[in-house]
């Protein structure tokens, strides 16, 4: 009996000691889904962001990253986030257009004059307003990641819009991307990114368009051997969080998460510069992809109406003007 009492007392004091050792706030762990592999620059930059968040919040906020579309396509991940089953998603401005029209401003071909203009737009007031535009839709953007410029790849050279005639070109599920291919004279085929390798291999589509990491990280260079550098768009990746998850954080934690996200954008800028050159070299030297330079003017002329239309579209005209005003 006496022995039992001692055992109970010991158990109680152990339990109290264990409770006392718990931090004041239980750690919050957010799940983040994206569709690139672990070697892709954007995965590395988000890993950096997650490490920063953990460090800055003393482990109170943690982010667990699920790559390779293992939790679904970008669209499915957005839907899971809106239903509360996921906290964070990395998507891109093209895909985001159907969830928040403001992102459409980024998707207009040739809207950016160069990389500096693109950065001024992402980091400046206009880019930050676009990130906040979706607040009433249940999510907000935290930061952008450079997605380079997108060009066509196929098994033939695409040196002018006329070369696209009769070609089925995979696009992201974005009205702007569909319109762009139509104006250039091709047939747009919206498909999820994860389905594209097989679609190219089986001839379901004749070509696609993306930055060179699609050729290497996603191995599209195995099935499409010519990359024609018309550089029609510069579409950033976007890191998003649901407003429900965001509002679980204290004000101080929100500031630290935003700081980590901004820092990871700067980290990504350097990493992208290095890794995109490596991707291009790898595509050419180990995958035998031929890179073709292109006179862009005919492509620019073909899509000129899109910019004019955007300036009349009440959903995006202010953003488009904001971006135009940052050109030098």
* Cβ 193 to ligand GCU shortest distance, Å: 3
Three-class SS of residue 240? strand
Is there binding between residue 77 and ligand GCU (CB under 6 A)?
no
The least CB distance from residue 239 to ligand GCU, in Å, is 11
Q: Is 152 in the site for ligand GCU (CB under 6 A)?
A: no
Q: Which residue is nearest to ligand GCU, using beta carbons?
A: 193
Q: Which is nearer to ligand GCU, 101 or 147 (CB)?
A: 147
Per-residue binding letters, 169-208, with ligand GCU (x by CB under 6 A): ---x--------------------x---------------
Q: Which two tokens stand for residue 288?
A: 């035998």
Within 212-271, which residues bind ligand GCU (CB under 6 A)?
Answer: 214, 237
Quote the least distance from Cβ 237 to ligand GCU, whole Å: 5
Q: Tell me which residue of 280, 299, 302, 301 sits closest to 291, measured CA to CA.
A: 280
Reading across the β-sheet that carries 226-233, which strands appear in turn? Answer: 187-190, 168-171, 207-210, 150-154, 226-233, 290-293
Q: Which residues pair with 30 in a beta bridge?
A: 63
Q: Could you tell me the CA-to-CA distances from 164 to 185, 192, 195 in Å, in that order?
A: 6, 21, 21
For ligand GCU, give the closer residue by CB, 214 or 289: 214
Closer Cβ to ligand GCU, 67 or 161, answer by number: 67
Nearer to ligand GCU, 92 or 189 (CB): 92
Q: How far, in Å, CA of 207 to CA of 137, rounded?
A: 34
Q: Does the protein bind ligand GCU through residue 210 (CB under 6 A)? A: yes
User: Nearest approach, Cβ of 189 to ligand GCU (angstroms)?
Assistant: 12
Own/partner contacts of 52-59, CB < 8 Å, gap of 24 or more, are: 52/259, 52/260, 52/263, 52/264, 53/256, 53/257, 53/260, 56/256, 56/259, 56/260, 57/253, 57/256, 57/257, 58/23, 59/23, 59/27
DSSP code of residue 17 = H
Report in angstroms how near the CB of residue 214 gets to ligand GCU at its nearest. Answer: 6
* Residue 215 near residue 153, CB atoms below 8 Å: yes
Candidates 72, 109, 147, 207; binder of ligand GCU (CB under 6 A) is 147
Q: Min. distance of Cβ 88 from ligand GCU in angstroms?
A: 14
The CB-of-36 to ligand GCU minimum distance in angstroms stands at 6
CB of 249 to ligand GCU, least distance (A): 25
Closer to ligand GCU by Cβ: residue 50 or 192: 192
The β-bridge partners of 290 are 226
Q: Scan residues 85-104 and list those touching ligand GCU (CB under 6 A).
A: 92
Is 41 an interacting residue with respect to ligand GCU (CB under 6 A)? no
Q: Give ∠ CA 229-238-135 in degrees, rounded to 5.
A: 140
Q: Where are the alpha helices (DSSP H) in the chain?
A: 2-21, 41-56, 74-82, 93-96, 115-123, 125-132, 175-184, 196-201, 213-216, 243-246, 251-285, 297-310, 317-325
Residue numbers at the binding site for ligand GCU (CB under 6 A): 35, 74, 92, 147, 172, 193, 210, 214, 237
């Amino acid at each position: 009996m006496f022995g039992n009492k001692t055992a109970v007392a010991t158990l109680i004091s152990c339990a109290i000691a264990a409770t006392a050792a718990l931090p004041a706030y239980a750690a919050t762990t957010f799940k983040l889904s994206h569709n690139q592999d672990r070697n892709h620059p954007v995965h590395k930059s988000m890993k950096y962001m997650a490490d920063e968040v953990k460090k800055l919040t003393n482990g109170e906020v943690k982010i667990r990253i699920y790559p390779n579309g293992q939790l679904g396509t970008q669209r499915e991940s957005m839907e899971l986030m809106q239903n509360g089953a996921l906290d964070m998603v990395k998507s891109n401005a093209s895909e985001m257009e159907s969830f928040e029209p403001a992102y459409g401003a980024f998707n207009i071909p040739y809207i950016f004059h160069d990389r500096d203009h693109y950065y001024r737009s992402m980091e400046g007031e206009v880019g930050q307003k676009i990130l906040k535009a979706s607040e009433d839709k249940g999510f907000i953007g935290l930061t952008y990641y450079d997605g380079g410029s997108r060009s066509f790849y196929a098994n033939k050279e695409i040196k002018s819009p006329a070369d696209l005639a009769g070609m089925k070109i995979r696009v992201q599920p974005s009205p702007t991307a569909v319109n762009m291919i139509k104006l250039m004279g091709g047939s747009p085929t919206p498909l999820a990114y994860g389905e594209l390798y097989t679609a190219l291999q089986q001839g379901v589509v004749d070509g696609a368009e993306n930055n060179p990491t699609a050729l290497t990280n996603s191995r599209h260079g195995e099935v499409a051997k010519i990359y024609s550098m018309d550089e029609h768009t510069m579409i950033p990746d976007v890191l998003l969080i649901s407003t429900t998850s965001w509002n679980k954080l204290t004000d101080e934690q929100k500031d630290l998460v935003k700081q980590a996200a901004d820092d990871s954008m700067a980290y990504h800028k350097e990493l992208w510069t290095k890794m995109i050159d490596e991707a291009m070299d790898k595509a050419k030297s180990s995958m035998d992809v031929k890179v073709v330079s292109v006179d862009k003017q005919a492509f620019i002329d073909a899509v000129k109406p899109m910019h004019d239309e955007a300036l009349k579209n009440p959903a995006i005209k202010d953003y488009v003007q904001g971006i135009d005003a940052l050109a030098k």
